[in-house]
Amino acid sequence: QQQVKQSPQSLIVQKGGIPIINCAYENTAFDYFPWYQQFPGKGPALLIAIRPDVSEKKEGRFTISFNKSAKQFSLHIMDSQPGDSATYFCAVLSGGYQKVTFGTGTKLQVIP
């Protein structure tokens, strides 16, 4: 079964726009929600992460919004730049050890 559902599959925005990527999960045991950024030919890199005790976290131009009751979380990229063009994966982890379950990915293109 798919434990994390991610949407949209692809996204095109103009420079300066605010792309939003959404993820929904089912298992309430998950307690760590990271977002990874992956450029072509590279491994994923941790971008930002949140725990369920807060509803929002900002780091630079990246913001995670978390809705525990709805079991959803989203990534917002403020003032997007062409260099943000990459594939973004949400993920979930549960305590004990750190097996990461990834979403299916969103391919973002920021056009100048």
Partner 1 sequence: NAGVMQNPRHLVRRRGQEARLRCSPMKGHSHVYWYRQLPEEGLKFMVYLQKENIIDESGMPKERFSAEFPKEGPSILRIQQVVRGDSAAYFCASSPPTGADEQFFGPGTRLTVL
Query: Is residue 27 within the footprint of partner 1 (CB under 8 A)?
Result: no
Residue 99 interacting with partner 1 (CB under 8 A): yes
User: How far is the C-alpha of 106 from the C-alpha of 99, rounded, in Å?
Assistant: 21
Of the candidate spans 20-28, 44-52, 54-62, 74-82, the one that interacts with partner 1 by CB under 8 A turns out to be 44-52
CB of 79 to partner 1, least distance (A): 26
Distance (Å, rounded) from C-alpha 3 to C-alpha 26? 6
Minimum distance from residue 90 beta carbon to partner 1 (Å)? 9
Question: Which residues in this chain contact partner 1 in the complex, by CB under 8 A?
Answer: 6, 32, 34, 36, 41-46, 49, 89, 93, 97-105
